[in-house]
């Protein structure tokens, strides 16, 4: 299967299929390395596979089957073969498979920096529900972006899945959807990896325009870009003030896909700060390094939108993606501490710290959604707070929602995709802007008003800041008609100096769940 989505040629192509199909495809290529990995529960399937499919003796795999070793390797006739098992121990806050271990195994073997030639990877799993998560784990281990003087030669990694459960099977349609999702994870990670002298708001818009023109327009997707002074003129005070200090103007990008039978509307809003100096509240002591990744939320939103549309997942709801693109730069035009700005919601914000800029962009994004798109569901995603890691760790994003149902949908989507998440505290009575971000001269400040509230569940209060700009307010309160979720993925968005493509799988699986929910509602209405 070829990459149907992007004209960008990656040095490493990753193609997914069933195990037998992957072996057949690899037989026609010049494969120099083979990796056979099995969940521990499936280890007894390895002897037959390596003997019948790869022509190796049982003795090779015996130390793994006997539990003596977790991996074995051999080299013969320019072919490197590795076989290994990985743990199937999963606590309740992990996913359906140990994707972290799969990524680690692939990164150390067939996707290692010095790896050359085509490769075959076969992963043995217990059931078909694990395949998407395993595939996205492989995708995370195969980055696209590189500016090394001696790049890797073009190569293909053939990835196949063997399922132990005899009642489970992988259809061609399922494989195709997995391929799209995995390609999108790799592309989102590529965007996060791009340096700020290459990816800025203007070049980011150009990138989105090209994907739209090449792939999305054919599916009826519309594209709107509000850019530069037009943002100021139309009242997007958050976006304009954050981005006006840069030589490249800020931009609000709106992608919309409305299928003929759509009865609901879902909006995803992504923070896209292509580089964050902190503004005049300058980041110091090395904390500015890696701030190219501060657009990870928008990358996840964009590529999840692409995957959802191209797989025709959303039939019962219109899907909109809003990308809030800006660079938080330092110049004589930069916005200042003590400025009071007016967001697109009409509410005023006293600036207490220019390094709390992401929420100012998101407030305009969610306000646009509420004013123009009549959403039933709004999900915003951002690399928003350093406190996220203290709240939910390095691998789990922090999420909060006004809806217990939506919170559960997103948590389940995280487990199915491997984009793990855990709830933040939803308590607007204690953490709302009127409680912790009050201002004597404006509707609110952009960070907590006193020092004790800086450590008072600040990731949660930051999410509630965004929610305070949604209208009408009653719709977005707990128990209201609208469902809202905030995803803070500051730390899961990157790992070991690379983007992870976090958010693509999470939102894609969320879209699948929402389609199931809304299609049932639509069918009931049609029957009546």
Q: What is the pLDDT of residue 53?
A: 75
pLDDT score recorded for residue 2:
38
Residues 174, 350: Cα–Cα separation, whole Å: 50
Check the CA dihedral 469-474-475-479 and report its sign: positive
Residue 268 near residue 297, CB atoms below 8 Å:
no
CB 448 within 8 A of CB 342: no
Q: Quick one: pLDDT at residue 29?
A: 84
Query: How far is CA 421 from each of CA 10, 112, 120, 161, rounded to the nearest angstrom?
Result: 30, 28, 31, 26
| pLDDT on residue 371 | 98
- Is-catalytic flag, 359? yes
Q: What are phi and psi of 445, to 5 degrees?
A: -100, 175
Residue-level pLDDT at 527: 60
Alpha-carbon distance 379 to 231, whole Å?
Answer: 22
Could you read off the pLDDT tens digit of each residue along the chain, which spans 528 residues? 334 333 444 478 999 999 989 999 998 888 999 999 999 889 888 878 777 777 776 788 888 888 888 999 988 778 899 999 999 999 999 999 999 999 999 999 999 888 889 999 999 999 999 999 999 999 999 999 999 887 678 899 999 999 999 899 899 999 999 999 999 999 999 999 999 999 999 999 999 999 999 999 999 999 999 999 999 999 999 999 999 999 999 999 999 999 999 999 999 999 999 999 999 999 987 889 999 999 999 999 999 999 999 999 999 999 999 999 999 999 999 999 999 999 999 999 999 999 999 999 999 999 999 999 999 999 999 999 999 999 999 999 999 999 999 999 999 999 999 999 999 999 999 999 999 999 999 999 999 988 888 899 999 999 999 999 999 999 999 999 999 999 999 999 999 999 999 999 999 999 999 999 999 875 655 665
**283 part of the active site:** yes
Q: Indicate yes or no: pTM above 0.85.
A: yes
What counts of helices (H) and strands (E) characterise the chain?
A: 17, 19
Count of beta carbons in the 10 Å neighbourhood of residue 353: 15
CB 335 within 8 A of CB 242: yes
Q: SS3 for 263? A: coil
Q: Which of 40, 108, 215, 283 is catalytic?
A: 283
Annotated active-site residue in 98, 186, 244, 359 = 359
User: Given this model, what pLDDT does residue 359 score?
Assistant: 98
pLDDT value for 472 = 98
């Amino acid at each position: 299967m070829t990459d149907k989505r992007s004209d960008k040629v990656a040095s490493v192509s990753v193609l997914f299929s069933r195990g037998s199909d992957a072996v057949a495809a690899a037989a026609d290529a010049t494969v120099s390395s083979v990796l056979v990995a099995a969940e521990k529960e499936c280890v007894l399937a390895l002897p037959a596979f390596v003997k019948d499919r790869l022509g190796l003796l049982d003795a090779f795999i015996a130390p793994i089957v006997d539990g003596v070793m977790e991996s074995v390797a051999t080299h013969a006739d320019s072919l490197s073969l590795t076989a290994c098992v990985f743990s199937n121990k999963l606590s309740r806050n992990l996913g359906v498979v140990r994707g972290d271990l799969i990524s680690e195994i692939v990164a150390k073997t067939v996707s290692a920096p010095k790896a050359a030639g085509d490769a075959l990877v076969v992963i043995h799993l217990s059931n078909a529900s694990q395949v998407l998560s395993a595939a996205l784990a492989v995708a995370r281990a195969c980055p696209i972006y590189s500016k090394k003087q001696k790049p890797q030669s073009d190569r293909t990694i053939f990835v196949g899945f063997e399922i132990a459960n005899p009642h489970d099977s992988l259809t061609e349609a399922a494989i195709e959807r997995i391929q799209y999702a995995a390609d999108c994870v790799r592309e989102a990670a590529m965007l996060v990896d791009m340096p700020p002298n290459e990816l800025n708001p203007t070049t980011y818009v150009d990138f989105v325009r090209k994907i739209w023109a090449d792939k999305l327009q054919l599916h009826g997707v519309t594209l709107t870009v509000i850019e530069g002074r037009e943002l100021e003129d139309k009242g997007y005070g958050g976006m304009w003030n954050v981005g006006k200090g840069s030589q490249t103007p800020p931009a609000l990008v709106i992608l919309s896909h409305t299928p003929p039978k759509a009865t609901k509307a879902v909006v995803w809003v992504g923070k896209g700060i292509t580089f964050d100096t902190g503004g005049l509240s300058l980041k110091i002591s090395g904390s500015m390094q890696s701030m190219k990744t501060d657009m990870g939320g928008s990358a996840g939103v964009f590529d999840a939108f692409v995957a959802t549309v191209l797989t025709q997942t959303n039939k019962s709801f219109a899907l909109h993606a809003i990308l809030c693109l800006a660079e938080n730069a330092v110049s004589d035009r930069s916005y200042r501490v003590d400025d009071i700005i007016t967001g697109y919601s009409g509410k005023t914000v006293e600036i207490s710290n220019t390094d709390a800029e992401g929420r100012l962009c998101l407030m305009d994004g969610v306000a646009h959604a509420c004013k123009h798109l009549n959403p039933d569901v709004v999900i915003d995603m951002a690399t928003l707070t350093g406190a996220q890691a203290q709240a939910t760790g390095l691998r789990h994003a922090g999420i909060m929602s006004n809806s217990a149902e939506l919170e559960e949908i997103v948590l389940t989507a995280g487990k199915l995709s491997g984009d793990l998440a855990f709830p933040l505290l939803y308590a607007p009575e204690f953490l709302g802007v009127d409680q912790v971000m009050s201002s004597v001269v404006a509707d609110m400040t952009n960070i907590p008003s006193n020092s004790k509230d800086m450590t008072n569940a600040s990731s949660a209060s930051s999410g509630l800041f965004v929610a305070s700009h949604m209208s009408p307010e009653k719709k977005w309160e707990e128990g209201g008609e609208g469902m809202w979720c905030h995803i803070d993925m500051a730390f899961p968005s990157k790992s070991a100096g690379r983007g992870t493509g976090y958010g693509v799988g999470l939102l894609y699986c969320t879209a699948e769940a929402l389609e199931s929910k809304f299609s049932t509602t639509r069918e009931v209405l049609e029957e009546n």
